[in-house]
Chains A and B, each alone.
Chain A
Amino acid sequence: MASTTYPPARPVAKPVMAMPGARALGDQRAVATPQAAATQTGIWVCVCAIFMCFAALISALVVREGASTDWRHLALPRILYFNTLVLMLSSYTLEVCRHRFAASVRQEAGPSETPLPDLFPWLYATILLGSIFVVGQYLAWRALEASGFYLATNPSSSFFYVLTAMHGLHVLGGMAGLIYMARRLARSVSIKQASALGATAVYWHFMGFLWIFLFLVMAIRL
């Protein structure tokens, strides 16, 4: 019976999204614990479910467009382009944050009592950009209303509001996750947060990809 502090973990079914540079450590601690693996699996399961939800809405959109002749095409509010850039930027800032997180763990090679200041501005920037995105989406709604398209005005506008609202709600959820990570990291920056931070990042980047996909669909079909 071996008695190392961290016995070799059993092979994990999915490739682990370890932090950047972790493997270079050659440190066994970088390999996933079952709980960390479960966090990774879990976030991808979430992504599947959310994707399915939007797939159902988009199928409904396609069917509805073909079902009747009352569809009026929308001019998408211009601010959506700005919002898209903001969301893309927020993914970038989150990635920088993760990089610095990896660097912190590498440097300290162990749990840290004082949070290194490096990663936090980038995390806060992500949260800020996320807020700007949400506000921007709300402004897009106002712009559309100003041009006379409300929720029930036309099926095209109905789908616009439903799709952006659903996406916006999920973005707010992602921001809650980011705020939660900020608080956890404020307590300590250690390898134990790697999988949670990684999962938060997967979710946030998915929000970005999903937005681009939705934007394209809306631009083409609405």
Chain B
Amino acid sequence: MSDGLSRRSFLKLAATASAAAAIPGCEPAARKLIPYVVPDEDVIPGVPTFYATTCAECSAGCGIVARVMEGRVIKLEGNPVDPISQGAICARGQAGLQGLYNPDRLGKPNTRRADGALTVIHWDEATKLINGKLAAAAQAGKDRVAFIGVSQGPTLDKITKAWAQAFNSARVGFWEAFSDEPARAAAEACFGRRDLPIYKLDQAETIISFGADFVETWNSPVEYARQFAQFRAPKTRNGSLSIGNAAYVGPRLNSTAAKCDEWVASNPGTEGAVAMSVLNVVVSQGWASNGDAGGLKELVADYDPEKISVQTGVPADQIKRIAGWFGQAKDGAVALAGTTDPQAHLAAMILNAVTGNVGKTMIFLDETPAQPTSRPEEIKAIIEAMRDGQVDILVIAGGNPAYSMPPAYAFREASKRVGYVIWMGEVPDESAELANLLIPTHHALETWRDTNPRTGVYGLGQPVMQPVYPSRALHDILIASAHLGAGAAAQAISYENAADAINTAWQELQGKAGGGATPKQFWDDARRHGGVFQEAKPASVSLNAAALKPTIRPPAAPNGLTLWAFPHIFLYDGRGANKSWLQEIPDPVTQIVWDTWAEMHPETAAKLGLKKDYEQTRLFAGIDVIEIATPGGPIQLTATISPLIKPGVIAVPFGQGHTSYGRYAKGIGVNPFSFLPEGTHSVSVTARKTDKKYKLVTPLGNSDMLGRTIIEAMTVSDLANGVEPDFGEEKIDRPYEMYEPFVYAGHKWGMTIDVNSCTGCSACIAACYAENNVQVVGKENVDLGRIMSWIRVERYIRPADKPNDGPLIQIAPMLCQQCDHAPCEPVCPVFASHHTEEGINAQIYNRCIGTRFCENNCPYKVRRFNWYAPEFVEPLNYQLNPDVTVRGAGVMEKCTFCIQRITTAEINARTEDRKLLDGEIIPACAQACPSRAITFGDINDPNSAMIKRRTDNKGRIYTMLPEFNALPAITYLRDLYQEKGKA
């Protein structure tokens, strides 16, 4: 209510002092109208334009579509034609916007004075500095220039390399904190090729994941979440209705494990050993298709389940069970490995190979793109050279090496030996602290890029808006400096700038992949579709016998505590920490926000002498801080105590612990990179309880569902036999109604949500934040119970004493149920909350006076109250959706089923004089959902996909809290699990 603010402030006065006491300062903000001089053809003010581009938040290379209004990106959506994302997008992808509009982005070039303070300098000066230094370095000799940054796609990386050559250096390192090196190494060992296979989880009947959190961060989460949902969907396999068997091997129950049937709680770093012993069983049971190929037997000899269970902490029968699933899977099984331990990858690949799943569920493609990231030894070589003073200029462009490199690399120290450090990036991070010159570069959404995540997928990233800050494209700077600075070698770079480079690259591509299209057509289509996508033929590979030589001995049995760090589902390796959405969305499993926590089992906590009644202490005082002695010195963390983790393990998420990197990241939590040894994520530590107290903040109240019908689960056999599971609540037949039931002449909007598909990835939450201008309230207010998200992930843990109550942990999205008998409606004294003709519980913000009666009376607790006026720090306010009111202080707000999308679609249909099509309206949450758990549609239309989904899954439908007879418009489909007492 931009122009309402002044009004409100006046009325505040009127409300406090007497009405006569004030002069209304009621000048609305926008009183000027400035027309275009020459209007843009394809821009209609007030109507969004969509530009296809690629997501640069992780290496998965999803295609995305940017919704642009009046020249500003306001929302990122999945690109439906992209084979990887297929129209979905994860929370991190959504939050790319907050990277673009980040208030802490560097505006102008800066130099660091002797005293360490920064001074703003003009661009010309900056470029002069860069070119001068580079030229000098090039003069000084070979390899005096070094580049460390993130890979930004084939073409741009080529530019980088050429640039380095121009200054006659080959020291270019592309750094990824979570490198795929182990997987590539294993692939090389097994199949003699360093490329990564793609997986087809939906083709499998059994999945065993050795530490691969494939619905969270592993490889390509959006794609694998979708495949996993299909894999878990009930279908008839060899005769009987069943869902796929999935097992997750790892020390912590993350949301991937939560969706699997078995969580094989293994000691950190022993996933490989477990994999080997699974292989052992497979071989010894003779399930391996090619029997004892080249000494499989002695490879797995030391990994007999009984013997190995000491080290791994996994009971033998559990290993045998999952091995049984794997070996006996009739139509396909797949083993995934996601640990830093090469052995796990090796074992997983051998497993897939010997059971004949290579080419079926694990597929190598021909002519796969070159490895984007450098090998660790290459990076180390560069740092070595830096330390030896062989480098005059270091250019750091992304990857934040100072933060994310293991201490063994001693990057900071090495960079001190470098003559001149140039940092090029967006938000100044820890690496920028080391730099002499800071150069603001474009965000990925402001530049030309291309991606080639796998064979046949060529993504084209185009700038979707004018730069927010007076920054420049990184590779434009490089090219320019190469052209100016270097002499002869400069000819290596033939193009003007990055855009030109991309264009050239795609002309070459057109020859290869263009088909019959003319270059222009090809280019236009590529820009329209966000790239070129083709089918890729699987390569035929065979298991390399050399791989079967016994390499690694089984690990030693762990003694004492082990600290195990895992990638945070939203912050990943820390790059997400400067985005307030990602900080505020609760981690699906622990539900903790804005912090680093130390997750531990009650037993472990008892050993450390932590309080038992942590529920209570968390609610009020906060609980004891523990001090953990690590190789990198002591760190202080606060425990969150839950049964969802292996005893003897302290799990700590990556991502926090920034000393700079913007207001949202700075000064929160601990950075595990700072003490973890190279090449592993676990280290044995000692811990002690301190007498400090600290409160981990979470919106979560109670983890026990108390047997209420919030999330329901049923066994597959019950589903097959049409048995309604009995949850002990009485069945209600429709009681006497006091008011006439609503009649919906036109549409009646509703939703079907498949709990079985939901992985808790929280993409829906991020999408809702973006679409509906939901404010971020910050840590303190979350602690006071003021988190504003309209949709949340309900998370419950099965009580230990009720082993038969379905899965160990249950997850489902909870949003306004848009009830027919909405309890929120009759209690509002001013009709701010009322029922619409289309069955939505409307909330009229400007009518609301803030009695908060509605939320009190809401059985689902899905309404949110604005305790303060929302604050959107410039330029984050550019992201606000102009179709949605920004709510002021003192009003209630709630999910509207994205009413702005509904009305727009209805207006279009009316003006085009046609009926609304099914699927024409998609709310932000449903649109984003990677596993397609949410379907939206018209309840009055029996043919709508939403209703079909209900009728097709008759056996699974239920509504939340039916005893309130609120008649929700949202119907849930029950979660499915294999059998009682398991998972």
Partners in one complex: no
Chain B positions within 8 Å of A, measured between CB atoms, are: none
